[in-house]
Amino acid sequence: MEKQFYVYILANMPRGAIYIGVTNDLARRVWQHKEGHGARYTRRYRIGRLVYFEVHAAAEAAIVREKQLKRWRRAWKDDLIESGNRHWRDLYVDIAGP
């Protein structure tokens, strides 16, 4: 089985504070953010709602995409999120499993 890598965006509320990250275990990493074990920034602003993610086959591709998204204007990031998650629903429930 090949490893997958994820670029993800977390938010604290629709159009609120966001965080962009990369991981090879999306469910575990989002859980860590939700439990306060993520980045200091996500703890400070209570950012734990998974609102967007992409799957990549290679770590290098995921890292390049993460850096690209971090350079984007905020309006572009909001549009990207809303293109697949109009109401900024927490997608964690879809990926966490039983």
Say which CATH number the domain at 16 has: 3.40.1440
Number of separate domains in the chain? 1
pTM for this predicted structure: 0.95
* pLDDT grade for 38, boundaries at 50, 70 and 90: confident
Is the pLDDT at 29 greater than 90, yes or no?
A: yes
Three-class secondary structure of residue 53 per DSSP:
strand
- What percentage of residues in the chain have a pLDDT greater than 90? 90
- Structural domain of 36: 5-95
**Tokens (6 digits) for 28:** 């575990």
Q: How far is CA 55 from CA 3, 9, 46, 98, in A?
A: 10, 12, 24, 21
pLDDT number for residue 98: 66
Q: How far is CA 21 from CA 5, 16, 64, 76, in A?
A: 11, 16, 11, 17
